[in-house]
Amino acid sequence: MKTFKTPTVSFSPRRISDSCIKLFGGRVTLLRNQNCNADSAVLRERKLMTAHVKLSVNHQETRPLFAAVVIVVLLCAILCGSTVAPNLLVAQSSISKPITGGAVARTAKMVLIHGGTFEMGTDASSIPRLQRLYGVGRADLFSAEVPRHTVTVSPFGIDAHAVTNAQFKKFVDKNPQWSEKRIAARLHNGNYLRHWNGDEYPKGTADHPVVNVSWYAAVAFCHWDGKRLPTEAEWEYAARGGLNGKEFPWGDENATPTRANYSSSGIRNTSAVGGYAPNSYGLFDMAGNVWEFLVDEWGPYNPDVQIDPVAGGNLFLDDSFLTVRTRRVIRGGSWGGSPVNLRVAYRDSHPPEDARDFVGFRCAKSSQKKKPK
């Protein structure tokens, strides 16, 4: 290891303000005196005031005017965004130099990504600059990112954050063959859930990403949850959040303890998921906190233009994952990593049985939406 249905939602390109629409137990509430945008706010207030005056003057007009008020409120909701359903938030997008495609909407657990085309990896000519920028003497730390190549990914869903201890405990409780005491010896390296007390995670860490799990356990969890591990191409596309060619999920600005949990943060352990600002697609901790297992076999990039690449050619949607013996890609950096590890393009790997306290995972799911052209 180097140190270094849900309900359908129609998308509106209008920027959505959380202060304009909020969800309370599945109900939509429009908050007065807070603008979604100037035009819609003024329109709403004028209509409501006019309706109020008319209701006071002529009681017989109450019913039709009440209906008009309801229509105005609904129009304001439409102007502020799109159809809102319980447990469904409309994904905000603030994209510069966008990748083809983008995020649409997210449920409480997953973010739906439209898919699209982007440039994956790093140009070999950039390595000397990266060495100077990050104070790295070894050029080979970046060699796995080469070459930069064009990739298209189809629509997919991905968890908004890494799988937590609380979520993994539910899986273990339902599938005791994956508990610390019963997991097959060949499926881990002796560190499996070693920080847990039997089937109980450490107190106060329910919302921390689960660690000390092997790649096999990660795949098994995703199967149980009706999902799979993300591909490396999906992960990088999602981590970029629409920012093509940027160093980090937030852009080119340097890593700081306010942006991610890494070595300079001084936490020296995992932190609760969602503790740092998400990227433009609403994904948390795509840099730092824990490395994340991916489905791909470790190896050099294919330089050709590709659509939905999967190194090794297998998404492991069945039990064939139990026969894997080759190293797997990990991405994202961790609480013990350096800024260079947090880069969106940075790649590393682990053996599939390797359970460590700085490696976790999140799940993904193929979408039934039409593939990008």
State the average pLDDT for the chain.
79
How far, in Å, CA of 347 to CA of 291, rounded? Answer: 10
Number of alpha carbons in the 13 Å side-chain half-sphere of residue 280: 22
Bond from prior residue into 147 cis (ω within 30 degrees of 0)? yes
How far, in Å, CA of 9 to CA of 138, rounded? Answer: 48
Q: Give kind and range of the element (H or E) at residue 96.
A: none
pLDDT at position 104: 38
For residue 104, give the nearest of 285, 360, 351, 280 by alpha carbon: 280
**Amino acid identity, position 67:** A
The fold of 116-164+182-366 is paralog of FGE (formylglycine-generating enzyme) (3.90.1580)
Whether the CA torsion 49, 51, 57, 62 is positive or negative: it is negative
Break the chain into its structural domains and give their ranges.
21-89, 116-164+182-366
pLDDT at position 370: 54
Bond from prior residue into 155 cis (ω within 30 degrees of 0)? no
- The terminus-to-terminus CA distance of the chain in angstroms comes to 38
Angle CA(282)–CA(286)–CA(292) in degrees, nearest 5?
A: 130
| DSSP code at position 171 | H
Instruction: Give the SS3 label for residue 233.
Output: helix
| DSSP code at position 25 | T
pLDDT at position 160: 97
pLDDT at position 109: 87
pLDDT at position 58: 38
Tokens representing residue 54 in the block? 């008319």
Assign residue 117 a region (left: φ > 0; alpha: ψ between -120 and 50; beta: otherwise).
beta
| DSSP code at position 197 | B
How far, in Å, CA of 77 to CA of 369, rounded? Answer: 26
Query: For 326-345, how does the pLDDT look when each residue is reduced to its tens digit (9 = 90+)?
Result: 999 999 999 999 999 999 99
pLDDT mean values, one per 10 residues, the chain (373 residues): 40 33 31 35 37 35 43 43 31 35 51 96 97 96 97 98 97 97 98 97 98 98 97 98 96 98 98 97 98 98 97 97 98 98 98 98 87 50
pLDDT at position 226: 95
Query: For 123-145, how does the pLDDT look when each residue is reduced to its tens digit (9 = 90+)?
Result: 999 999 999 999 999 999 999 99
Cα 88 to chain centroid, rounded: 15
CB 287 within 8 A of CB 264: no
